[in-house]
Amino acid sequence: MSEEEQPRSAIDDRLLVDREHCWHAFTQMAEYEPLLVDRAEGVWLYDHQGRALLDGISSMWCNVHGHRHPKIDAAIRGQLDRVAHVTSLGMSNSTTIELTRRLVEVTPQGLDCIFYSSDGSSAVEVALKMAFQYWRQRAEPEPERSLFLAVGNAYHGDTLGSVSVGGVSRFHAMFDPLLFDVLRGPCPDTYRLPEGVRAEDACQHYLDQYEDLLNRFSGRIAALVVEPLVQGAAGLVMHPAQFLSGLRKLTREHGVLLIADEIAVGMGRTGKLWACEWEQVEPDFLCTGKGLSGGYLPVAATLTTREVWNAFLGDYAESKSFFHGHTFGGNPLGCAASLATLDLFEEEQTLQNVLRQGAYLEECLADLREHRHVGDVRCRGLVAAVELVENQHSQRGYEWSQRRGHLACQAAMERGVWLRPLGNVIVIMPPLCCTAEHIDQIVAAVKFGVSQACGD
């Protein structure tokens, strides 16, 4: 029975339960108004009233090939006929093994070993713990390497370890007493440049500060954690060209492991399968999730090198195992969805579409730069941000409490597009299968939202 066919009382009861009992992430429940999605198809979401909304944020940045893709649906159904779940503690299954083989093939060279978890936060937590344990167990131990170096305004998830290396205080300041100390470099922002720094000098300016930290804490840093190219929850901050490769060079020189958090920017979002590929960077750890399963099931993976793997080998009595695990890590249903997702990149030439539609999206958004309350429009593949400001010249943003981004996204729904902001930043991350027609609708909705939230 569809929502339209159900009695009004049943729908009202569901809305009440959602409002009063279902606790939503990053949502003030005192102000929450239910939005129930009944079904989805391609880039479209349909709510309980039958209203169609274009999914402008890929259901939290993870839907890659569209909702209800026949190939992914079939892969999951086929796996159900075999086995739905097998633990990764002491056993495996054919589907997880096949995904492991494929990921080793399609990730940067040297990432030969994979640990599965259920979400991006956990994938980063795994990398942190592995890096810490590695320095204590390798052939020539360096136990004094216990510090992590993170990027300013980073976001790496919501577990305590990933929050520790994160830097968005608005989200996590409450938990500061629970976190471990982390070294933090500057946020390599190309919009809000440090005073006196020109755009062409920004990359070296930021790298010099990281080099200084690596020198000052020489021999004590276990790993540097970075979101390659684009910092998601910081407001889609775009890094200067060659910043990532510069970090890789510095970490090699100082013997520091590099953890690339590709949860948001991986799986084709920037126009290559992995953002690291744009600057030919081979990290020591690569964390992936979100789009790995096409946005269908909670699957995440931490890839690392044979050198790291070898540090965990030994006799049982040596207790060198990686003492960390997730009940559903490497779940066969999720792995089946992930294999189908990878297949579709080839079959549907997804990366080519990202580059084509990403360029069109940037072109369509260009005239928003002239709006007096738009400070910046920035794009990378099918990642785009429109930052609203109170004063364009000074780059002064609106007070967070004014919720300008929220108001703009609410207005966009009147034009049939679902968006979710990051403060004053309107985030645009449609499914990678979107067309020019979809881009047109998204951009029209964003422009309408900006005018409604900030005036003309």
Q: What is the average per-residue pLDDT within 49-62?
A: 97
pLDDT value at residue 456: 80
Tell whether the model's pLDDT for residue 287 goes beyond 80. Answer: yes
Segment 284-310 mean pLDDT: 98
Mean pLDDT over 195-212 rounds to 97
215 and 325 co-located in one domain: yes
pLDDT, position 451: 97
Ligand-binding annotation for 120, yes or no, is yes
> Does residue 412 lie in a domain region?
yes
Counted residue by residue, the chain has a size of 456
d(CA 278, CA 242): 9
Question: 360 with 423, same domain?
Answer: yes
332 shares a domain with 228: yes
| Secondary structure letter of residue 39 according to DSSP | E
pLDDT band at 199 (very low <50, low <70, confident <90, very high): very high
Q: How confident is the model at residue 11 (pLDDT cuts 50, 70, 90)?
A: confident
Could you say which of 287, 320, 347 is where a domain stops? 347
Instruction: Report how far residue 269's alpha carbon sits from residue 274's, in angstroms, rounded to the nearest whole number.
Output: 8
What is the tens place of the pLDDT at every residue in 365-424? 999 999 999 999 999 999 999 999 999 999 999 999 999 999 999 999 999 999 999 999
pLDDT band at 6 (very low <50, low <70, confident <90, very high): low
Lowest mean per-residue pLDDT among 2-16, 164-178, 368-382: 2-16
Measured between alpha carbons, how far is 83 from 79 in angstroms, rounded to an integer?
6
Looking at the fold, whether 58 and 109 belong to one and the same domain comes out as: no
Could you tell me which of 438, 254, 275 has the C-alpha nearest to residue 364? 438
Q: Are residues 391 and 246 in the same domain?
A: no
d(CA 436, CA 353): 10
185 and 264 share one domain: yes
Q: Is 350 annotated as a binding residue?
A: no
The boundaries of the domain holding residue 296 are 73-347
Q: Does 165 share its domain with 48?
A: no
Interval 259-270: pLDDT, tens: 999 999 999 999
Of 170-179, 229-238, 419-428, which range is least confident? 170-179
CA geometry: angle 413, 415, 418, nearest 5 deg: 35
Considering only residues 13 and 258, tell me which one the structure prediction assigns the higher pLDDT.
258
- 327 among annotated binding-site residues: yes
Could you tell me if residue 6 is inside a domain? no
Q: Give me the number of domains the chain comprises.
A: 2
Sign of CA dihedral 217, 223, 228, 231: negative
Task: Give residue 238's pLDDT.
Answer: 98
Work out the mean pLDDT of the chain and round it to a whole number. 96
The mean pLDDT value for 165-193 works out to 94
Provide the pLDDT for residue 316. 93
Query: Is the pLDDT score of 231 beyond 90?
Result: yes
How confident is the model at residue 5, as a pLDDT?
Answer: 57
CATH number at residue 163: 3.40.640.10
Report the distance separating Cα 227 and Cα 168, nearest Å: 13
pLDDT for 12: 85
Q: Quick check: is 312 in a domain?
A: yes
268 is in an annotated binding site: no
Residues 308, 399 share a domain = no
Tokens of 12: 């009202």
Cβ atoms 167, 175 nearer than 8 A: no
Residue 407, C-beta contacts closer than 8 angstroms, at least 6 positions apart: 449, 452, 453
Residue 261, strand partner residues: 287
- The response to whether 261 counts as a known ligand-binding position is yes
Confidence of residue 172 (pLDDT cuts 50, 70, 90): confident
pLDDT at 372: 95
Residue 10 in any domain: the answer is: no
Same domain for 305 and 393, yes or no, is no
* 281 and 296 part of one domain: yes
- Rounded Cα gap, residues 301 and 118, in angstroms: 8
Distances (CA, A) of 305 to 91, 309, 331, 411: 22, 6, 22, 47
DSSP 93: -
Residues forming beta bridges with residue 113, ordered by sequence position:
304
In this structure, what are the phi and psi dihedrals at residue 115, rounded to the nearest 5 degrees? -115, 130
Choosing from 347, 378, 407, the residue where a domain stops is 347
pLDDT at 9: 78
Query: Is there a domain that residue 29 lies in?
Result: no
Note whether residue 39 is domain-resident.
yes
- Chain segment 235-244, per-residue pLDDT in tens: 999 999 999 9
Closest CA to 265 of 296, 246, 244: 244
Judged by DSSP in three states, 81 sits in coil
- Domain limit, last residue, from 347, 366, 400: 347
116 among the known binding-site residues?
Answer: no
Residues 425-444: tens digit of each pLDDT:
999 999 999 999 999 999 99
92 and 61 fall within a common domain: no
What average pLDDT does the segment 46-61 reach?
96
Does the residue 23 lie in any domain? no
So what's the pLDDT on residue 158?
95
pTM: 0.96
The secondary structure of residue 190, as a DSSP letter, is: S
Binned at pLDDT 50, 70 and 90, residue 196 comes out as: very high
Same domain, 367 and 231: no
pLDDT digits (tens, 9 = 90+) for 113-169: 999 999 999 999 999 999 999 999 999 999 999 999 999 999 999 999 999 999 998
Q: Is 451 annotated as a binding residue?
A: no
To the question of whether residue 290 is assigned a binding role by annotation, the answer is yes
Specify the 3-state DSSP secondary structure of 118. coil
- Strand partners for 302: 115, 287
Q: Is 27 contained in some domain?
A: no
435 assigned ligand-binding residue:
no
